[in-house]
Copies of this chain bind each other. A is one copy, B any other.
Amino acid sequence: MNKDVSDNPRTLGETVTAEIRRKLVDGELVPGQRLSEAALSESLDISRNTLREAFRVLTQEGLLKHEPNRGVFVSVPDMASIIEIYRARRFVECQALAQAYPKHPAVKRMREAVKAAQRSAEVPDWGAVGTANMVFHAAIVELADSQRLNTFYGHLSAELRLVFGLLNDAEFLHAPYIDMNAAILDHLEAGRPQDAAKALDTYLVQSERTILAAYARRGC
């Protein structure tokens, strides 16, 4: 899913970057939390300098926020960010799907993600459903055959996971979309990419609305 350098970490800095990234998307580090250089470098058993290099990378990815002379904080996605992320998602995903070749290798990954989500929903394991859902949408972007676009989408996706961590209600957030994903895939495999794109747009608008509503409730 993530084709970043940090998948195969060859230096300590990359290992640490990947580890912190995992903690961020897994919700072990929560939005707004301050990451003290001294404390975190000690708890990870690395030097401050190495940690700072990791901070720069994760800041670039949008997961951390660097405030000069004040420190590094986990990004706090506000409503504007959520709206913006969904705007970018609709832009990228719908276009990728609309122009997709129905026999593209990524379609297989989409199918597998749908199946995985359905299986996890029966357990039920809503966290796994959420993961499968993200794999499905990453596969949609892969249809566009652009590594750079995939990486960009990976950053969007990671930021969105920060939002999910903030809301903490995986079933509510993911359950309704299993069938919608399946329908999108059916359209695509049947050679109706325009219909697939249309369905995806509906999906994303609905998902955005749901998340914004949950976000607003949480805020009060």
Contact = CB atoms under 8 A, between A and B. Distances in A.
Contact of A53 (B56, B84, B87, B155): B56
A47 to B, nearest CB: 10
14 contacts: A5-B66, A11-B69, A49-B49, A53-B56, A57-B60, A60-B61, A84-B146, A84-B148, A87-B144, A87-B146, A88-B148, A91-B96, A91-B144, A152-B152
Interface of A: 5, 10-11, 13-14, 49, 52-53, 56-57, 60-62, 66, 68-69, 84-85, 87-88, 91, 95-96, 144-149, 152, 155-156
How many copies of this chain are found per oligomer? Answer: 2
A145 B13 CA distance: 35
Contacts of A53: 52-53, 56
Contacts of A13: 56
A29 B120 CA distance: 51
A212 to B, nearest CB: 17
